[in-house]
Amino acid sequence: MGSEIYQKIYGIVKQIPCGHVATYGQIAMLAGIPGHARQVGYAMYALPDDSDVPWHRVINAKGEVSIRSDPFFADIQRHFLEAEGITFDKKNRIPLKQYLWQRIIPIYADP
């Protein structure tokens, strides 16, 4: 999976509205690569620092900010999410019922 799928992933992530989140698996499904949530993570990691893709809105299926090799990024991601009004519970999870982006499209359709 190369840059073409990354561009598709980035296009989907750009559609996540401010104040909402999506899971890696959800983005993978929308990109037509169900079961490849890690590929979405790799795509987010590959973004340049000056990217306009709202990478911080992509979280894991538990509603948590995923730990990266540098834990400082988790703090940055949480700060960005909180700045958009997203709250975390006592277990440091985002209530998905409240904040999960609900994009309804046929599976495997182009965004």
- Is the full-model pTM beyond 0.85? yes
Q: For residue 30, what are its two tokens?
A: 């929308």
Contact between 56 and 94 under an 8 Å Cβ cutoff? The reply is: no
Q: Give the confidence band of 101 by pLDDT, cuts at 50, 70, 90.
A: very high
- Return d(Cα 83, Cα 63) in angstroms, integer: 17
- Report the phi/psi class of residue 83: left, alpha or beta, with left for phi > 0 and alpha for psi in -120 to 50: alpha
Query: Which domains does the chain possess?
Result: 3-99 (1.10.10.10)
Q: For residue 71, what are its two tokens?
A: 């834990």
Whole-number percent of the chain with pLDDT over 70:
89
Cα 10 → chain centroid: 10
